[in-house]
């Protein structure tokens, strides 16, 4: 085996970005569920801990929006139609939906979806 072949083979073995991402997501979910159980209703939480949770939420929403947009752009390219949005059953969201966290306590993990109408671009004839 040549040195270049070993490097290529080793690289392909660990080329599972989606699997790694899903593993990380499962760890985040499990930790969030455990944390939700640890926090009592009306409990005072240190400001630094609240800020860390806000940063985590922001990062997750940013990555989710990025991946949803990439899927929408791919669908637009394959169909030739702009303004194509994944429907809710496929796991994506349209760019017109905004999710807002309900905060801690019993409402943790629930979201309110507020829809706004976004004009869909159409091709001129």
pLDDT at position 83 is 76
DSSP secondary structure code for residue 112 in this structure:
E
Summarize the confidence of residues 102-116 as an average pLDDT. 40
pLDDT band at residue 68 under the 50/70/90 scheme: very high
Phi-psi region of 38 (alpha: psi -120 to 50; beta: other; left: phi over 0): alpha
Q: Tell me, what's the pLDDT at 98? A: 40
Tens digits of residue pLDDT in 23-50: 999 999 999 999 999 999 999 999 999 9
pTM: 0.55
Question: Sorting pLDDT into bands at 50, 70 and 90, what band is 118?
Answer: very low
- Percent of the chain clearing pLDDT 70 (strictly above): 55
List Cβ neighbours of 35 (8 Å cut-off, separation of 6 or more).
Answer: none
Domain boundaries, the chain: 1-38
Distance separating alpha carbons of residues 94 and 65, to the nearest angstrom: 10
Using alpha carbons, list the distances in angstroms from residue 46 to 16, 40, 50. 37, 13, 6
Cα-flanking dihedrals φ and ψ of residue 80, to 5°?
80, 5
Confidence class for position 51, pLDDT limits 50, 70, 90: very high
Instruction: Using the structure block, give the residue that is written with the tokens 């997750």.
Output: 60
**Spatial CB neighbours of 41, under 8 Å, sequence gap ≥ 6:** 105, 106
pLDDT category, 82, cuts 50, 70, 90? confident
Cβ atoms within 10 Å of 72's Cβ, excluding its own: 19
């Amino acid at each position: 085996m040549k040195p270049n072949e070993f490097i290529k083979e080793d690289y392909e073995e660990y080329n599972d970005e989606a699997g790694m991402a899903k593993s990380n997501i499962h760890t985040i979910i499990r930790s969030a569920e455990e944390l939700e159980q640890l926090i009592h209703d009306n409990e005072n939480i240190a400001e630094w801990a609240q800020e860390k949770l806000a940063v985590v939420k922001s990062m997750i929403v940013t990555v989710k929006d990025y991946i949803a947009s990439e899927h929408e752009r791919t669908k637009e390219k394959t169909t030739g139609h702009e303004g194509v949005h994944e429907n809710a059953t496929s796991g994506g969201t349209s760019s017109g939906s905004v999710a807002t966290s309900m905060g801690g306590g019993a409402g943790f993990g629930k979201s309110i979806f507020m829809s706004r109408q976004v004009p869909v671009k159409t091709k001129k004839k």
